[in-house]
Amino acid sequence: MKIPAGLTWRSQPADVAWMKPFKDALRREWVQDLREQLVQHGGQPGTFHMAAPTRPTITAWIVAGWQAVSEETIKHGFDKCGYSHREPADADPSDADDDDTSLDSSTEVVEVLERVTAIHQSDYVDEEMDILDNMF
């Protein structure tokens, strides 16, 4: 079976159902880490320097990300792609694990980073440069 270019994501259960909640959970962990660093900086004079997360920290974030994905979400991905023995009516049509709160918290952190001159509004980050999206 040939799948047209740009449409393979529709047949991949991970892309259809659980990568978004997984990435949202990773992003929440990263934003929380940034918040903690900003609190430690406490508005001290001088430039704020973000510390890169350690490997154990990143591993903990990944574990938290997978824990945020329910078994039902994974099943739902297979249902949506037609790879399940369950009838579509048995599948949960709502994406209960979708969480858009990470955008709000990310925006809040960006505002604080701008105030401590860690980033400048003139710096443009394209959506394609999102490290979490490019890691997987």
Per-10-residue mean pLDDT, the chain, length 136: 71 89 94 91 83 94 94 90 68 46 57 61 56 52
Confidence (pTM): 0.60
Long-range contacts (CB closer than 8 Å, 24 or more residues apart) made by 50-55: 50/118
119 token code pair: 């980033």
pLDDT digits (tens, 9 = 90+) for 82-119: 887 776 544 444 444 444 444 455 566 666 666 665 55
Q: Identify whether the C-beta of residue 26 lies closer than 8 Å to the C-beta of residue 132.
A: yes
Q: Identify whether the C-beta of residue 69 lies closer than 8 Å to the C-beta of residue 10.
A: no
